[in-house]
Structures are given as structure tokens and as C-alpha cells.
Amino acid sequence: MAYQYQKRVPWTEIFRPRSLYEVIMTSRMRNQILNWWRAWIILWNLFRIWNNEERTKWMDFLKTSQGKEWANKYLRKWKTFFQQEFEKWAGAPSRGETPKSHTLLFQMSGKETSTDLKPTALREIRKWLDKLWGKFLSQTADENVPPAIPPLSPYKPLLLVGPPGTGKTSTAYALAWQEGVMIVEFNASDRRSGSVVREIVKEALKSAGFVIGGDPSKPPRIILLDEVDGLSARDDRGGFAALMRILDEIKLPLIFTANVIHDRKVRALMTRCVTIFFDRPQEYQAKALIKRIVSRMKMDVPDRIVNFLAKYAPDFRTIIEALEVYYYSGVLPEIFHEEMLSLQDAIRYAFGFKGKNLEESISRAQRYLGSVTDVDPWELILWVWENAYSFLDHSKGLFGFYNQLALADYLYKIGARNMNWRIAYRDAMRVLATAMARYGRHAKNVWELRKIKVNKPTIIEELYRMKQLMEGQLEEEGEAEEAEEINVKKLGLRPLLERYARYTHTSRKRARRELRFLIHLARAKPEIVGELFAKLYVPKETISIFTKYAFKSKKERSEIEGRILNAYEETLNKIGPRAEFLKMIPPISEKAEEKKVKEVPEEKKEAKKKPKKKEEAGKVTLDKFFG
């Protein structure tokens, strides 16, 4: 009989929760998620009512001149009004209590409110919509009254934030399985650029598609965007800006997950979402999961192992994997509490958690900092330098800490310059860990440290912004996305710097430093800067980017930009069109300049070789002399 290989199912899949009640979380978190889901069920039925009873009349009205006039004047106000009133009536409160509308519309399951609508729910929902429409019309007091209710606004997405392995993605799947709806996931391995978000994600969120089976009173699917803070600037360019824009058009529930709470993208999403915070498991939560696994697998696990896992395992996933290894091998794998730390948490723990003596504290700090593998020591030093003041014990003095931090920076740069990586990495990190362990303020627990925000270094932010300006990528204002849509290449500040460098006979790096001088000159004498830009034939788009970079105040920016452009146009009319200049002096990149220096024309090479041949012919060799 042939041997049949049976694939072993990982325990992370076996013990994946199949309902929200199997997910280990607080009752408040569970209630918030259920309130959010019930709010979407109510909105889904409002969409059904609007599509069946109002859509045709509204579309016919919109074709008329009166309809277009009303839509231009009031449609945006109606959507904002609907959003605010729906939030008050059916939204998910931050404290987790159940809204009164949910008790009115949903059936009870014991003492808890279920997610199944009552038979009278649709009538109550329609009554509320009519009442809301009447309230809005009384506020507008316009004689031109539409024959139908305008389109409705969507509800907020759900944002799950916390370290890896704490159950964020499992929670989304558990909700979908519990409610019998499909989940469509876009994770970090998928390309999520601006075009993908517009073409695929937007369509998935706008239309319900074909619903086969299932409860028609509930949304047919949930869209999950996993690790949204992992959207990269290169591969996912424009994805986040496009995502923020489509939040006002979604027709289906959307769930985001993110690992780093201090990420700028996560902070922006928190203003538009119902946010649930996940954290490392508490000891009682870890023990509850261990008890569940031990009971189901009929394992015999000593108390010392249970206590060790509850105290040191960084997340639920690690607990499950450790017990799986112990079940098959009888050996518990080595676990460190600092595994899978984010950079922010590594800095917090290295400053705040102490050992029995200084040597043990230094060793701990080294392990915490060493757990972050994708950051080199120089960047880590910048992060520590930016945030150290909030973590230091000021009674020990500040000079000693910053002196050692400067020494760590010096060791890294000397080692890197001389290719001596032992000094650059080992010695620099040892000095950095010593400074943090010695001068950091002792913290009682992780919650005390989590209250302190760890900011991104200012210099890194400035370099990133300068790179965006050079390449014309201003994602904050959505300009890169607009350029992508109309197929216009963004120039950025590059034309200004290249032509200014050529005009002043300096390098582009030096020209970048002299931007401050140009900003000062633009504030004092905008007309002179306008004349200079005209002589350099700087594109208008680049002038606009320059003023946005230089002047934060919109009033000051518009005034100075107007004066610069007026002088720019006058000077251009005097000196002639820009096209002639571009033909005379084509733009030369740095690489082209290098090639130009390296490449020597063949004629010159031959000219150099020929004299050598003549010289060789004229030489008297020993053979000739003797022979």
C-alpha cells in the first residue's frame, strides 16, 4: 500500500476564531465592532430603500436644469447633513454602549442586541429617512423642491490598530464568518498604487455585484485593506491619496488594519474611521488562550511554561506557534518579549525598562534596539536624538547623555568611512545602549511608556519633503494623483535648480542650499525673482511649487506668487519665447555631464595615437645600431 502524505494544518489556522466571541478582546472592543457593523446594516437598508423607491425619480430630476441647479447648490450640504445626523442616530459610540436606534431596530439575543433586524425595522428606517429629509428642506427654504431624496452618504470605515500578531486580521475574518458574508482582502503583498485603488478597490467598494444566497438585509461583503501603514512611496505611489478620496463614495463596509499608531497615514485615517486599539496580550488573556488550546488538544503543559508564555510571549500568534512546537517536540522554543517590536516601542523600552544593575540594563537596551533589523545605527541615533528629552531622567543631567550620543554618532561615521563595520555597528550600538540605559527614566509599566509619543526625526522629514519637491510629488495635496490622471509629467523644483546652477556656475547641491536666499529675496523683492525665473525660463508649474514650499500662509503665498508671475510674464515678453532658449541650451542631467567628461571623441584619440607612432619610427633601436 502506497504511503499517502497528509498535509498538517498549522495551529494558527486550527485556532483561528470563527466568531467575535472567540476573539480574545475586551467587551468594550467587541461592542464597538458590533455597533459599527449594525450601523452599516442600517445604512445598507437605507441604500436598498433609496435604490428601490428614490433612485429613478432622482435621476430623472437631475437631467433637468432645475435638478442640476439644485444639485450644485445643495447636494454637498445634504450629504454632510445626512452624515452628521446618521452618526447621532445610529453611529458607534467610542465608549461601546449600544445606541437606542439599535435596540429599536434589532432583535435581542438574551440580554444582548443581535445583528438581525426586527420585522418592523424597514418601516422605522423609512420613517427616519422621511423625517430627516423634511428637516433638511425646512433648513434650506428653497422653492425648488426635488421630487425625490438625493443620494445618501456612506458611514465610516473601521480601523484596527496594534502590533503584529494581536488579532486584527483575525477579528475582521471572525466578523465576516459570524455574519455569513464574504471578505475581500487587499494585503501588503498586493500592489496598491493610485491606479489600482481607483480601478479595483473603488469598484469593489461601490457596487454590491451579484448576491447569491445570504441575508439580503446585510451587506454582501466586507472589504479588508490589511497593513495600510505599509503602503510604500514607490510601489504604491498615489495609493493612499486615492484611498482617502474614495471614502466618501463607498457603498460597502471597509476595514483597515495598521501596525504603527504614529504613522502619518494612520493618523490621517483615525480622523475618518471608527478606531479600535489592539495591544500586547495581558497575562490573563494569554492564559485564557493557553487554556483553550490545552483543553482542545488534551495537552499536559506545566505551570512554569504557562506562566513563562503569559509573561514573555509578545502576541497571540507566538503563543499558538510555541505550543504547537512544544506539542510535537516536547521543547519550548526560545521567546523574547522584545521580538517584533516597532522602532517606536524599541526606543521606549530601551529608555524605560531597567535590569537589576547597569550592566543588565545595558544588555536589555541592546536587545531591544537589536530587535529592529531594518534600521541602520545612524538612523536609529537620529530617532533617539529627536525623542530623548521626553524619556531622560533630568536629575542625572543632560550633558552626559548627549555627550555619549555624539560619541556613538562619531564611532558609526568613522567606522563606516573606513569600512570597519565592527566599530560602526557593534561599538556604536553599545555606546548608544549604555547612554539610554544609564540616563533613561525608569518606567513602571508599558502603559506609562506608551503615553509618550515618539516622533519621526525632523531631518528625515525634511529630506523626504525635499525629495518630493524635487520630483514634483506632493501627495498631501493630491497633486501627484491629478498629474497621473491627466498624463502630465510633474517637474518639481528640478528645472529651477538645474538652470540656476548653470546660470551661477555652481553645482545643483549648492543651488539647493541657496534656495533660502531665493526665498528671502522673493519675500523682499518678488519682481526681481520673477525676472530671474524668466531669464532662466523656469516653467510656471515649478514657480508654483517653489512658492508652496517657501510660504506657508495662503494669503502671503498668493500675493507673492502673483507679483512674481507678473514680472515673469513682462520679462518673457521682452526676451522672447521659451522654446528658442530650450533649443539653444538643452537640459543636461548630472549623468549626462559625467558621460560627457568620460567620453573622448575618436578623432582626438587617433590624433593622440599618431604622434606616438611617428616618435616610435624615429627612435634608434639596439638592433638597428648594431646591425
CB within 8 Å of 593: residues ≥ 6 apart: none
Does residue 485 sit within a domain? Answer: no
Question: Does 482 map to a domain?
Answer: no
Answer yes or no: do 246 and 349 share one domain: no
* 382 and 429 belong to one structural domain: yes
Tell whether 322 and 252 lie within a shared domain.
no
Who contacts 510 (Cβ-Cβ below 8 Å, separation ≥6)? 501
- pLDDT above 80 (res 520): yes
pLDDT in tens, 244-267: 777 888 888 999 998 877 777 888
Asked if residue 403 belongs to a domain, the reply is yes
DSSP H/E element including 135: helix 121-140
Are 297 and 202 members of one domain? no
Range of the domain at 523: 491-584
Task: Tell me, yes or no, whether 521 and 411 share the same domain.
Answer: no
Q: Does 124 share its domain with 54? A: yes
Query: Please, are residues 37 and 179 in contact by the beta-carbon 8 Å criterion?
Result: yes
pLDDT at 331 over 80: yes
* Residue where one domain finishes, among candidates 456, 483, 506: 456
Whether 322 and 312 have beta carbons less than 8 Å apart is answered as no
- CATH number for the domain spanning 204: value is 3.40.50.300
The sign one gets for the Cα dihedral 17, 22, 24, 27 is positive
Between 331 and 466, whose confidence is greater?
331
Residues 515, 219: Cα–Cα separation, whole Å:
54
Q: With respect to residue 469, please indicate whether it lies within any of the assigned structural domains.
A: no
In a domain, 605, yes or no: no
599 DSSP β-pair partners: none
Q: What is the spatial distance between Cα 176 and Cα 182, in angstroms, rounded to a whole number? A: 6
Mean pLDDT of the chain: 79
The closest of 547, 466, 560 to 513, measured between CA atoms, is 466
Same domain, 379 and 299: no
- For residue 60, being part of any structural domain is answered with yes
Specify the higher pLDDT residue, 466 or 13. 13
At 214, the pLDDT band (50, 70, 90 cuts) reads low
Number of domains within the chain: 5
Residues 315 and 381 in one domain: no
Residue-level pLDDT at 468: 64
From the list 525, 524, 522, the residue with the least C-alpha distance to 543 is 522
**Which residue carries 518673457 as its cell?**
572
Q: Render pLDDT for 360-372 as a digit per residue (tens, 0 to 9).
A: 899 888 888 887 7
Co-location of 435 and 355 in the same domain = yes
What's the pLDDT score for residue 238? Answer: 59
pLDDT tens across 26-45, in order? 889 999 999 999 999 999 99
- Mean per-residue pLDDT, 302-322: 85
Specify if 347 maps to a domain: yes
Per-residue pLDDT at 7: 63
Task: With respect to residue 549, please indicate whether it lies within any of the assigned structural domains.
Answer: yes
Cβ-in-10-Å burial (0-12, 13-18, 19+) of 300 comes to exposed
Instruction: Collapse the DSSP code of 113 into the 3-class scheme (helix H, G, I; strand E, B; otherwise coil) and give the result.
Output: strand
Q: Provide the pLDDT confidence category of residue 490 given band limits of 50, 70 and 90.
A: low
Q: Are 299 and 327 in contact (CB under 8 A)?
A: yes
Q: Are residues 273 and 162 in the same domain?
A: yes
Average the pLDDT over each of 132-141, 373-382, 541-550 and give the range with the smallest value: 373-382
In tens, the pLDDT along 116-159 reads: 999 999 999 999 999 999 999 998 877 888 999 999 999 999 99
Q: Say if residue 207 is in the same domain as residue 260.
A: yes
pLDDT digits 0-9 by tens, 89-117: 998 887 778 899 999 999 998 888 999 99
**One domain, residues 271 and 192:** yes
